[in-house]
């Protein structure tokens, strides 16, 4: 099996490289409006945003920032196939504007904008990022009433374009892409507790994550496994440090990413070098966890009912029998400078 991964250095407000209905899944984390680290990015795309911020006009800046994102959402809707899923990780902002501390509900605005563009809202996820800080408040501390809860969660918003996807009966790629029964029970809970990560570029820690909103690999990796199959194409219009592409490589899906900053694209090579070992480690962990689950279930006197076809363990449901994992045997970057693709060769993971 081979997968292709294209990284376009360009503006996702016009994804000319992608045809209509050519993407099966979107997994992305856009810049968060009214989070200060993104002020310059938004202002560079629309100078009126900088003027609104200088005037301390939070409402105008908030709307204008979401107007910028909305032009990308228009392209997302165009390229997302019927039945395709869009997963948008976004956090709300807390910021004092015009002398008042307020919460700016980015998740609600993204939901409104994508619904207006015709996507259907699905039950979403709360991604909780626990902190060890003893001061879980903002404001006046122990004196009521002017302290505020600390935001320890972000939203993973889920949308579908039209009705559910249809597959031929017994479609091999779909059945090989199955997840385990116990993974389903964990992944499809609406609360995920996954620690954040200090993201680095280049793989060697040489460039710190000061201008990137990359999420930890586990978040896009789960979403890709939950909402796509082998053979599908995953799009990230806000590519950043390439976490979604790395996850697609590990999960053996095709991918396309759009990124304005060429430096991020150049630094991605260090991440690519880690992908084969990362794919093996993540797959081995899944298989070990399933075997431990089976052992615990047997100890409780509840033998799983079906045997996996490619592995030496049982599974709980009939639909898991064909589950199959793939390793990363090789990652090749095209030598042609006009070709911005990585080609990944996958082989069955024997386990």
Is residue 314 assigned to a domain? no
Residues 6+ apart with CB under 8 A from 66: 33, 106, 109, 110, 113
Residues 6+ apart with CB under 8 A from 324: 176, 310, 348, 349
Is residue 136 assigned to a domain? yes
Q: Region 49-63: what's the mean pLDDT?
A: 96
Q: pTM, whole model, 2 decimals? A: 0.92
Domain with residue 261: its CATH number is 3.40.50.150
- Any idea which of 11-15, 167-171, 232-236 has the lowest mean pLDDT? 167-171
What are the pLDDT digits (tens) for 13-41?
999 999 999 999 999 999 999 999 999 99
Percent of the chain residues past pLDDT 90, beyond the cut: 78
For 273, counting Cβ atoms within 10 Å of its Cβ (0-12 exposed, 13-18 middle, 19+ buried), the class is middle
Is residue 307 assigned to a domain? no
CB 131 within 8 A of CB 138: no
In the chain, the number of structural domains is 1
Report the distance separating Cα 310 and Cα 337, nearest Å.
Answer: 40
Q: Write out the residue range of the structural domain in which residue 337 sits.
A: 2-288+323-348
Q: Calculate the average pLDDT of the chain.
A: 90
**Can you give the pLDDT at residue 198?**
52
Measure CA of the first residue to CA of the last residue in the chain; give whole Å: 17
Is residue 112 assigned to a domain? yes
What are the pLDDT digits (tens) for 234-248?
999 999 999 999 999
- pLDDT of residue 200 exceeding 50, the answer is no
CB 75 within 8 A of CB 238: no
What are the pLDDT digits (tens) for 85-110?
999 999 999 998 888 889 999 999 99
Is residue 298 assigned to a domain? no
- pLDDT of residue 203 exceeding 60, the answer is no
What are the pLDDT digits (tens) for 105-141?
999 999 999 999 999 999 999 999 876 555 555 666 6
> What are the contacts of 95-98 at 24+ separation with CB within 8 A?
95/34, 95/35, 95/36, 95/58, 97/34, 97/56, 97/57, 97/58, 97/61, 98/56, 98/57, 98/58
Is residue 249 assigned to a domain? yes
- pLDDT of residue 274 exceeding 50, the answer is yes
Radius of gyration, CA atoms only, the chain: 21
Length of the chain: 351
Phi, psi (degrees; rounded to nearest 5) at 122: -115, 165
**Can you give the pLDDT at residue 184?**
97
Is residue 71 assigned to a domain? yes
H or E segment to which residue 87 belongs: strand 80-90
- pLDDT of residue 275 exceeding 60, the answer is yes
């Amino acid at each position: 099996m081979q997968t292709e991964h294209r990284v376009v250095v360009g503006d996702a407000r016009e994804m000319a490289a992608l045809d209509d209905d050519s993407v099966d899944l979107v997994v992305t984390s856009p810049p968060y409006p009214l989070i200060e680290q993104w002020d310059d990015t938004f202002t560079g795309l629309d100078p009126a945003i900088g003027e609104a911020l200088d005037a301390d006009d939070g409402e105008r800046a908030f709307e204008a920032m979401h107007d910028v994102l909305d032009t990308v959402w228009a392209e997302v809707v165009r390229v997302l196939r019927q039945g395709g899923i869009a997963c948008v990780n976004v956090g709300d902002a807390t910021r004092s504007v015009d002398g008042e501390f307020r919460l700016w509900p980015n998740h609600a605005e993204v939901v409104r904008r994508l619904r207006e563009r015709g996507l259907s809202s699905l039950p979403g996820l709360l991604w909780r990022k626990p902190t060890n800080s003893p001061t879980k408040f903002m404001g006046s501390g122990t004196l009521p009433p002017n302290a505020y809860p600390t935001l320890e969660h972000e939203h993973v918003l889920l949308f579908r374009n039209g009705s559910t996807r249809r597959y031929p009966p017994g479609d091999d790629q779909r059945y090989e892409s199955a997840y385990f029964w116990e993974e389903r029970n964990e992944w499809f809970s609406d609360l995920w507790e996954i620690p954040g990560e200090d993201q680095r570029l280049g793989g060697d820690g040489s460039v710190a994550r000061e201008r990137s909103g990359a999420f930890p690999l586990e978040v896009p990796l789960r979403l890709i496994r939950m909402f796509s199959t082998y053979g599908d194409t995953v799009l990230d219009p806000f590519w950043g440090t390439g976490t979604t592409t790395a996850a697609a490589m590990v999960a053996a899906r095709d991918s396309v990413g759009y990124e304005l900053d060429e430096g991020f694209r150049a630094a991605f090579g260090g991440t690519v070098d880690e992908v084969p070992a990362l794919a093996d480690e993540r797959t081995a962990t899944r298989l070990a966890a399933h075997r431990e689950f089976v052992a615990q279930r047997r100890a409780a006197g509840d033998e799983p009912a079906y045997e996996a076809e490619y592995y030496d363990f049982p599974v709980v449901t009939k639909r898991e029998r064909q589950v199959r994992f793939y390793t990363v045997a090789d990652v090749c970057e095209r030598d042609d400078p006009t070709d911005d693709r990585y080609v990944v060769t996958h082989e069955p993971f024997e386990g």
